[in-house]
């Protein structure tokens, strides 16, 4: 797991291997006492096609899925920020298709034992 700071308000936790990279960008809010609250706002995925599609130059992909449009009113700006941060650290390079989407979780359920309320 690698942490990157994007700005005073956003930081990134992400992981990578040879085939796939992904991460989550967190919005952080601090108070005057030094406490903080972090909320995950988008997830992102980095892909590299092994066989480029016909009619395209070989290129990578960086897809950002924003889940809180109140904290991220301009998803395209945050997507560009993460692209610049990853590029500056040599973790992604051009050419890359940068995509951003607004997504919402519509529900969920635990499959197996997820919560431990007895701790």
Q: What is the pLDDT of residues 52-80, one digit of tens each?
A: 777 788 888 999 999 988 999 999 999 99
Give per-residue pLDDT as tens, 86-104: 999 888 899 999 999 999 8
Distance, in Å, from the CA atom of 111 to the CA atom of 37, rounded to the nearest integer, reads 28
Rg of the Cα atoms in the chain: 17
Distance, in Å, from the CA atom of 84 to the CA atom of 94, rounded to the nearest integer, reads 11
Distance, in Å, from the CA atom of 95 to the CA atom of 56, rounded to the nearest integer, reads 11
Q: Hey, CA dihedral for 31, 14, 86, 84, is it positive or negative? A: negative
Q: Running DSSP on this structure, what letter comes out for residue 66?
A: E
| Structure confidence at residue 1 as a pLDDT band (50, 70, 90) | very low
- 0.85 exceeded by pTM: no
């Amino acid at each position: 797991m690698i942490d990157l700071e994007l700005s005073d308000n956003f930081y990134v936790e992400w992981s990578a291997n040879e085939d796939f990279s992904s991460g989550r960008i967190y919005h952080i809010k601090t108070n005057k006492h030094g406490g903080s609250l972090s909320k995950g706002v988008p997830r992102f995925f980095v892909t590299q096609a092994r066989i480029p599609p016909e009619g395209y130059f070989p290129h990578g992909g960086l897809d950002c899925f924003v889940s809180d449009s109140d904290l991220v009113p301009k998803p395209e700006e945050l997507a560009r920020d993460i692209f610049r941060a990853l590029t500056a650290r040599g973790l992604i390079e051009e050419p890359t298709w940068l995509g951003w989407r607004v997504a919402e979780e519509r529900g969920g359920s635990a499959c197996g034992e997820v919560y431990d309320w007895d701790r």
